[in-house]
Amino acid sequence: MLEMLHGKAKDEAWNNQVKEKLSPALQEEVSFKDAAWPSPFVPGLEYNSPAHGPWNIVHMGMLLPGAHQIYVCGANCNRGVILTAAEMNAGDRFSFVEIKEEDLFNGQMEELVIEGVSDILHKLPEKPSVVLLFTVCVHHFMGCDLTYIYDTLRGRFPEQCFVDCYMDPIMQKEGLTPDQKLRAGLYKPLPMREKNLKQINIIGNDFPTREETELKQIVKEAGYTVKDITECKTYDEYLSMAESYLNIACYPPAKYGAEQLSKRLGMKFLYLPFSFDYNEIDTQLKSLVKEMQGCEMPDTSLLQKRCERMLKETKKLVGNMPITIDATAVPRFLGLTKLLITHGFSVVKVFADGFLAEEKADYLWLKKNAPDLKIGATIHPNMRVYPRNSQEKVLAIGQKAAYFSGTEHFVNMVEGGGLHGYDGICELCLKIQEAYQTKKDTRDLIVRKGLGCESCV
């Protein structure tokens, strides 16, 4: 006898049956007092929510002016990346070589990649400056000779710069992720050049850093030029980043790439992540001023007072309205949670599947001072039937928090949104106020891939 598998009643019944059989560690929600470090949930089958604002490797590759992306993978994997390029109206900068079943056994994988890429480049109306060539999981499994592939292609097309890129989700759990590898790969075409001691780079962001941030204000007031791939319009402008003497990484997944670039081109390096801790922000600004001649340290006591005023003003507006936060909104989401809790906000839940090593202190603080704060998974299979129709008004920070909380009041931001330092805290307060006062069309907004990218969805 056939039985309906879908529908609210069936979903709830199935979810309750599963929960009865699972230990608390295997469920999709735990209290901070029970949350293990650094992974509060047992890995397994994964659910993919419809919140697609965070950037993927296709979006990031499009940041490099003059680059053409080529993916070598099976039809199923190709579908997602092809749609991403099409949805952002960048299909003319994207190509693919399809791997079929027989290609896995005929011993000619290297030839397939070489001839497929060669055919694409010969047919393009104008050859690109850079080719971002993405190999995939099967190339690892097969022991494909990638060195031979790149050496052959570089010999055939000496005027093009080939960058080895990877779409290998098998590497998500250990080693460098595809995201980290690409944030490093985007800067491999930069050549060795004479250094300009009045020019610096911000490396690895998807969004331009706000002009009002202390970071940019300090360096620009001292006459420095700031280069950022997110603001480069031409390939030549991008290449000029090689002349900077200092690289700054503000986004955690970009740290590795910025370090590698600095070592290769003999540049200095600073890691200044978007923090919600006043002492850490002060330390970062001091290290910046120390590294750059002519820069002056701002009066951080005044900046802190401004943050306190903004936090107080925001708390007065939102009152005790429940707040949920997700890890895609800001990298230091535990730091944000601590900041809001210490200023009286009613944070009731955070959505994340793991914690950053650099947030260990905030994790321990929350475990001690907010033991009943809930942490919910985002990829646990139970989230498919997670109740998303809250009976109370909820304010969410981040798209996944908005989706799982079932709210139209949310801060539509991913990956820090270009915020930084004291200015970043104040700007986030304004975004929280706007989210409280104005409803958004959650269903329409969160399904658009790559927040901030052009979208035809």
Whole-number pLDDT of residue 24: 45
Whole-number pLDDT of residue 19: 47
232, 256: one domain: yes
304, 434: one domain: yes
Kindly list the distances between the CA atom of residue 61 and the CA atoms of 185, 219, 369, 428, in Å, as whole numbers in the listed order.
Answer: 9, 28, 42, 28
Looking at every residue in the chain, the average pLDDT score rounds to 92
Give residue 12's pLDDT band: very low, low, confident or very high (50, 70, 90): low
409, 320: one domain: yes
What's the count of helices (H) and strands (E) in the chain, helices before strands? 17, 14
pLDDT at 389 over 90: no
Q: From CA 367, how far away is CA 321, in angstroms rounded?
A: 22
pLDDT above 90: percentage of residues in the chain: 84
157 is in which domain, residue-wise? 65-185
Whole-number pLDDT of residue 14: 46
Q: Find the DSSP H helices in 41-159.
A: 57-61, 75-87, 109-123, 137-142, 146-156
76, 207: one domain: no
Query: For 115-158, how does the pLDDT look when each residue is reduced to its tens digit (9 = 90+)?
Result: 999 999 999 999 999 999 999 988 888 889 999 999 999 999 99
Give residue 454's pLDDT band: very low, low, confident or very high (50, 70, 90): confident
Q: What's the mean pLDDT in 308-336? A: 98
Q: From CA 137, how far away is CA 395, in angstroms rounded?
A: 39
Enter the tokens of residue 291: 């590294």
Give all strands of the β-sheet with 29-31 in edge-to-edge order: 29-31, 374-376, 347-351, 323-326, 395-397, 410-411
Q: Give the domain CATH number at 181.
A: 3.40.50.1980
Q: Which uninterrupted H or E stretch holds 30? A: strand 29-31
Q: From CA 147, how far away is CA 13, in angstroms rounded?
A: 53
Whole-number pLDDT of residue 76: 86
In a domain, 26, yes or no: no
In a domain, 190, yes or no: no
Q: What's the mean pLDDT in 174-180? A: 86
Coil, strand, or helix at residue 243?
helix
Residue 218 and residue 281 in contact, taking contact as beta carbons nearer than 8 Å: no
Whole-number pLDDT of residue 17: 52
Give all strands of the β-sheet with 161-167 in edge-to-edge order: 94-98, 67-73, 130-136, 161-167
Whole-number pLDDT of residue 18: 46
Query: For 422-434, how does the pLDDT look when each residue is reduced to its tens digit (9 = 90+)?
Result: 999 999 999 999 9
108, 241: one domain: no
Residue 424 CB partners (closer than 8 Å, separation 6+)? 210, 213, 274, 416
Q: What's the mean pLDDT in 161-177? A: 83
Query: For 366-376, how does the pLDDT look when each residue is reduced to its tens digit (9 = 90+)?
Result: 999 999 999 99
Q: From CA 95, how far away is CA 73, in angstroms rounded?
A: 11
Give the residue from 259, 291, 323 where a domain finishes: 291
Give the residue from 258, 291, 324 where a domain finishes: 291
Q: Give the domain CATH number at 414.
A: 3.40.50
pLDDT at 15 over 60: no
Per the listing, tokens 């930069």 go with 190
Q: What's the mean pLDDT in 175-188? A: 93
320, 440: one domain: yes
Whole-number pLDDT of residue 27: 85
Pairing of strands 161-167, 196-203: unpaired
Q: What's the mean pLDDT in 197-222? A: 97
In a domain, 19, yes or no: no
Q: What's the mean pLDDT in 159-164? A: 97
Give the residue from 185, 208, 237 where a domain finishes: 185
In a domain, 50, yes or no: no
Minimum mean pLDDT among 18-27, 360-369, 394-403, 438-447: which range?
18-27
pLDDT at 159 over 90: yes
Give residue 13's pLDDT band: very low, low, confident or very high (50, 70, 90): low
Whole-number pLDDT of residue 23: 40
Residues in the chain: 457
Q: Is the torsion defined by CA of 8, 13, 17, 20 positive or negative?
A: positive
Give residue 25's pLDDT band: very low, low, confident or very high (50, 70, 90): very low
When divided into structural domains, the chain yields a total of 3
Give residue 420's pLDDT band: very low, low, confident or very high (50, 70, 90): very high
Whole-number pLDDT of residue 171: 63
Q: What's the mean pLDDT in 83-107? A: 93
In a domain, 76, yes or no: yes
Q: From CA 167, how far away is CA 79, in angstroms rounded?
A: 13
Give residue 211's pLDDT band: very low, low, confident or very high (50, 70, 90): very high
Whole-number pLDDT of residue 26: 53
201, 282: one domain: yes
Give residue 457's pLDDT band: very low, low, confident or very high (50, 70, 90): low
90, 173: one domain: yes
Peptide bond into 38 cis (omega under 30): yes
Q: Give pTM, 2 decimals.
A: 0.91
131, 181: one domain: yes
- Strand partners for 249: 203, 271
Q: What phi and psi, each to the nearest 5 degrees, are found at residue 254?
A: -90, -10
273, 326: one domain: no
